[in-house]
Amino acid sequence: MRPAIGIDFGTTNSVVALLRPDGSVETLRHPTGEVFRSVLCFLSGAGGRTRHFAGPAAIEAYLEDPLESRLIMSLKSYLAQRSFTETQIAGRAWRLEQLVALFLRELLAPFRAEIEGARIVIGRPVRFVGQTQEEGLGEQRLRAAFAAAGMEQVQVALEPAGAGHRFAAGLDGAATVLVADFGGGTSDFSVLRFDPGPPRRVTALGHAGVGIAGDAFDYRIMDRVVSPALGKGSDYAVMGKMLPVPIGWYVSFARWHQLSLMRAPRTLRDIASVARTAAHPERLHRLIRLIEDEAGYALYRAVSAAKAELSRQAATVLRFTHTDFVLEAPIARAEFEDWIAPELARIAGALDAALADAGLAAGQVDRVFLTGGTSLVPAVRQLFEERFGSDRVATGGEFVSVAEGLALIAGEAV
C-alpha cells in the first residue's frame, strides 16, 4: 500500500496528515509541536544577505527584529487574483507561486520520508478569496506552487469534501451530509452522500462557497474598534475645507494580507501630509508608527484573541499597547454579532446555494458537520442550528479535519 498524504494549505494555518496502512490517520507535526502558521518572514542580514523562515520560526524571527523583517501573510488569498503577480523583497522579484513553493518546502521538510512515493491530495476552496477571483487561475497557481516545491503529481480535492470524508469515517450507515468548512479566508459548503459499502461510495451532490470567513470577522473588529483610534472617521483641512481622512488606508490596515503594502514610502508620506492639517493628528501619527514599527502582527493577535474570547463569553476587552498607543476597548458579543451581520448573511446565502445545487431541502440532510475555527463563533453555529436543528449539527477537528480527510481521499485513489 502506497503512503497517502493530505495537505491543507490554509490562509492562516497549514496541516499535513498521513493515512497509515492500518487505516488510522495521523496529523504530522513539526518537532516543536506548534501549529504551523501560513507565514513567511524575510530577514535582512549583514552584507545584504537575506534569510527566510516559515511558520512559527517566521513569527519568532519577525518578533525579534520587526524593523529588518518582511512578514508575508495570507498568501492563499492572492492565488485567484490576476492583479498580483510578484512582489519585491530585498531587491529581488518573487512571483506568488515561488513564495508559496518556498513556504511549502519548509512546511514539508520534516516529512520527506513519508511523502516519498506517496499519493498526495491537496485541498482547494470551493471559491477562492477576492472580489475579482478567477477560479481556474487559483487552482492553476496552486498546482504550479506544489510542482515548484517538488510535487508535480498531486490530486486536488475540495476542502469541505476532505472534512466530510473525515466525519463520515465515524458514520455507521448511509447518510447525506452537509459539510461546512470555515477557514481563515473562505467559507465552503459541500453536500455529500456517503454509502458505507464495501467499497465505500461517496457522491458529491452539490457545492457552494464564499470568499469570507474568520479574517472578515477580524476585519470588523479592526474597523469598528481599532481604526477610529487611528484616525478613521476624522477630518483634515484642504484649502480651508474639511474633508474626511481617506478611508482606503484603514481598509488596507485592517486586512492582514494588505498591511505590508502600506509600508510603501509614498503611502507613509501621504498619511503624514494629511496629519499636518488633521483635526486629530496624533491618531494618524499612531497609524504611521504602527506601520513603520511593523506592529501589525501583534495587533492582529490581540484582535483574534478578543474574537476567540467572544466565542466563550458574552463580553471581553480588547487590550493592546505599543509605545504611546494604549487601547482598552470593551466589546459585547451582541454588538460583534451586529458588526458581522453582512458576513453571516453571505454565509447563509452560500449555504442556500449549496442546498440548491444539490437539489435538496434542509429536511433532507441527515447530518451537518461544521469545522474550522470560525465554526466556534456562536452566531455561526446558531445559523445552522436554526436551519437544521441542533440534534443534526456536529463540530470537531476544527484545525485538522480537512487535512485528515484529504489523506483518506488519497488512500481511496486507485
Residue 414 has pLDDT above 60, yes or no: no
For 97-118, the pLDDT digits (tens) are 999 999 999 999 999 988 988 9
Please state the domain count of the chain.
2
pLDDT band at 345 (very low <50, low <70, confident <90, very high): very high
What is the mean pLDDT of the segment spanning 212-232?
A: 93
pLDDT of residue 357: 96
**Please, what is the end-to-end C-alpha distance for the chain in angstroms?**
11
- Quote the pTM value: 0.83
Last residue of a domain, one of 314, 335, 369: 314
Which residue is associated with the grid cell 473588529? 221
Treating both helix axes as pointing N-terminal to C-terminal, what angle do 378-388 and 341-358 enclose, rounded to 10 degrees?
40
Q: Mean pLDDT throughout 351-380?
A: 94
Domain assignment present for 325? no
Mean pLDDT, range 220-234, rounded to an integer: 96
Task: Name the domain boundary from 314, 336, 351.
Answer: 314
Residue 344 has pLDDT above 70, yes or no: yes
Per-residue pLDDT averaged across 176-190, rounded? Answer: 90
Residue 407 lies in domain = 4-174+396-412
For position 47, what pLDDT does the model report?
Answer: 67
pLDDT score of 260: 66
Helix segments in 340-400, DSSP class H: 341-358, 378-388
Instruction: Give a yes or no: residue 390 inside a domain.
Output: no
Whether 122 and 21 map to the same domain: the answer is: yes
pLDDT tens track for 304-325:
999 999 999 999 999 999 998 9
| 37 exposure class (CB count in 10 Å sphere: 0-12, 13-18, 19+) | middle
